[in-house]
Structure 1
Amino acid sequence: MGARTGTKPVGAVTRGTTNPNRLRRQDRWIAHTLAPALRRAGALSSGGPVAVDLGYGAAPWTAVELYERLHAVRADVRVVGIEIEPERVLAAQRCARPPALTFRRGGFEVPLDGGERPLLIRAANVLRQYDEDQVAAAWERLCARLAPDGLLVEGTCDEIGRRQSWVALGPEGPRTLTLSTHLASLERPSDLAERLPKALIHRNVPGEPVHALLRDLDRAWASAAPYADFGVRQRWLATVRTIAPDWPLVDTHARHRLGELTLRWAAVAPR
């Protein structure tokens, strides 16, 4: 089970809903964004750099898939799936591949052997059940566990992963917001409103920056309707080009083609 098994985990049990490939969009973004840090991370006495899938749910698919996608970037990466529910940890052992992929009980304290600091903590659909005023403390606690160049990815998605959003945070706090969608099933960008991270989902009201972002995306999407003749991807790319002068985008054309949009957190932070 790992370190600190006698310590009561910090947090509450999640619903545990999970499906294979539900977090593929997050995995893909993480592998791309974290690749430079993964490659330059030095080998540790116990192995390679550590990534944590926090609150993986009733089945361990997301941790297994995260390991496979990060392993393609760095062969000696280790992924630790952490769950607060003992039965889920026990059930996940059938998928363990020690020391590369392991599972243990824990919560926001992120228990790792020897006090290791992970290069990544991914907490998907974990804070969704908490109150909005609990988010900042959870972020702070998780960020304090990161390695100096580590990344916390916290967000939410629908049941099959077609609509996703996440906040990326460093040890200093939030950096970016990413929206990611399956373009072929997208009616309008504001469809993503229901899958905003907990810090933003109740802020989609007039006067809040995230509301203005979704409004601008919807308007640009409507204006880009003629591009639909060339495919939904071209319509999305035209939408992104339209809003780019007014919003601090930090990703590239290649990421936009995947149905992604990443911008600086300061532009959408709650007022």
Structure 2
Amino acid sequence: MAPGHIGQATRGTTNTNRLRRVDRWIARHPVLRRCADPLVVDLGYGASGVTALELEARLRRSRSDVDVLGLEIDPARVARAREQLAAVRAGKSVFSPDARVSFDRGGFEVPIAGDRRPAVIRAFNVLRQYDEDDVAAAWTRMAGRLAPDGMLVEGTCDEIGRVSTWIEVGPDAVPRTLTLSLRLAGLDSPAVAAERLPKALIHRNVPGEGVHDLLADLEREWVRAAPASSFGPVQRWRAALESLSSRGLDLGPRSRWRLGELTVPWARVAPN
């Protein structure tokens, strides 16, 4: 652990567009759209600052006044990200030279100068390397830094961002929802999400647990909806979700279904 900072350096895997699914979800979320101060933290961005730059580019379409702060424990990574940002400022990248992005050292304590508190903290592929018993304390530390109406988005994804899952956590460190987001083109089975569940749930995909039931139900309806695949994977996915919804399962906004996304209340998947 770095002196003065809480946590461990992430493994550092950073690929362009890896976090596009969660970024677009945050961009549409009422927390960002309605907050008084749109400060967003990219916690544990990895070996490159590209995820923070991409996050700002996507969020500014919803909030032109968004500020993104990338935090990493490893000082070499902070230095590298600042070099990247200098190239952005000089117009030598695909990002806007006026991108409202900065980089600093920090961990779960989320250090921010002054009295500002982030509306959103995105911590992706960070807790995956920790033990399940460490999750609650990390949530509490990060959530304690949020604005009163803010949210922590904690999750994981595969290396190229085709399979993503995340948990929305409130300022009280209580989880609110679980979201699954899958690239539908070429999807063989939605059960692939099990491999990328957040740390709080990845060991809970066993009979008797809510997340296991959710994935089993989703897989069952996906198989039943196979005839709809002749109209494309989106129609098959929507047919599967329509069937689940007809049985009273809350799957989040229907407008998001076409993106290969569903969101369920935390009570549906909370560990026993």
Shared fold (TM-score, shorter chain, > 0.5): yes
Whole-angstrom CA distance in 1 between matches of 2:247 and 2:108 = 36
Paired residue for 1:118?
A: 118
Matching residue within 25, 30, 35 for 2:26: 30
Give the 3-state SS of the residue equivalent to 1:21 in structure 2. coil
How many Å apart are 1:49 and its aligned residue? 2.4
Task: Return 5+ residue gaps in structure 2 as ranges.
Answer: 90-97
Whole-angstrom CA distance in 2 between matches of 1:165 and 1:100 = 27
Residue type at the aligned position of 1:134 = D
Paired residue for 1:18?
A: 14
Residue type at the aligned position of 2:65 = D
Bigger shift: 136-145 or 154-163? 136-145
Q: How many residues align?
A: 259
Please tell me whether the aligned partners of residues 247 and 263 of structure 1 are also in contact (alpha carbons under 8 angstroms): no
When residues 219 and 40 of structure 1 are mapped into structure 2, their CA distance, relative to the original with a 3 A threshold, is closer
Once the two structures are superposed, what CA deviation does each residue of 1:250-271 show, in whole Å capped at 9, x if it has no partner?
A: 5222100000000101110000
Whole-angstrom CA distance in 2 between matches of 1:133 and 1:40 = 34
Whole-angstrom CA distance in 2 between matches of 1:241 and 1:95 = 45
Q: Are residue 206 (structure 1) and residue 207 (structure 2) matched?
A: yes
Paired residue for 2:47?
A: 58
How many Å apart are 1:115 and its aligned residue? 3.7
Whole-angstrom CA distance in 2 between matches of 1:128 and 1:113 = 28
Paired residue for 2:197?
A: 196
Please tell me whether the aligned partners of residues 31 and 151 of structure 2 are also in contact (alpha carbons under 8 angstroms): no
Give the 3-state SS of the residue equivalent to 1:113 in structure 2. coil
How many Å apart are 1:38 and its aligned residue? 3.4
Whole-angstrom CA distance in 2 between matches of 1:7 and 1:176 = 33
Paired residue for 2:266?
A: 265
Whole-angstrom CA distance in 1 between matches of 2:11 and 2:266 = 28
Give the 3-state SS of the residue equivalent to 2:179 in structure 1. strand
Give the 3-state SS of the residue equivalent to 2:176 in structure 1. strand
Whole-angstrom CA distance in 1 between matches of 2:136 and 2:116 = 23
Residue type at the aligned position of 1:41 = C
Q: Are residue 90 (structure 1) and residue 84 (structure 2) matched?
A: no
What percent identity do the matched residue pairs reach?
A: 59
Whole-angstrom CA distance in 2 between matches of 1:164 and 1:41 = 25
Give the 3-state SS of the residue equivalent to 2:185 in structure 1. helix
Task: Return 5+ residue gaps in structure 1 as ranges.
Answer: 1-5, 43-47
How many Å apart are 1:39 and its aligned residue? 4.0
When residues 200 and 37 of structure 1 are mapped into structure 2, their CA distance, relative to the original with a 3 A threshold, is closer
Whole-angstrom CA distance in 2 between matches of 1:161 and 1:168 = 18
Give the TM-score of the pair, scaled to structure 2. 0.91
Give the 3-state SS of the residue equivalent to 1:184 in structure 2. coil
Residue type at the aligned position of 2:44 = G
Give the TM-score of the pair, scaled to structure 1. 0.92
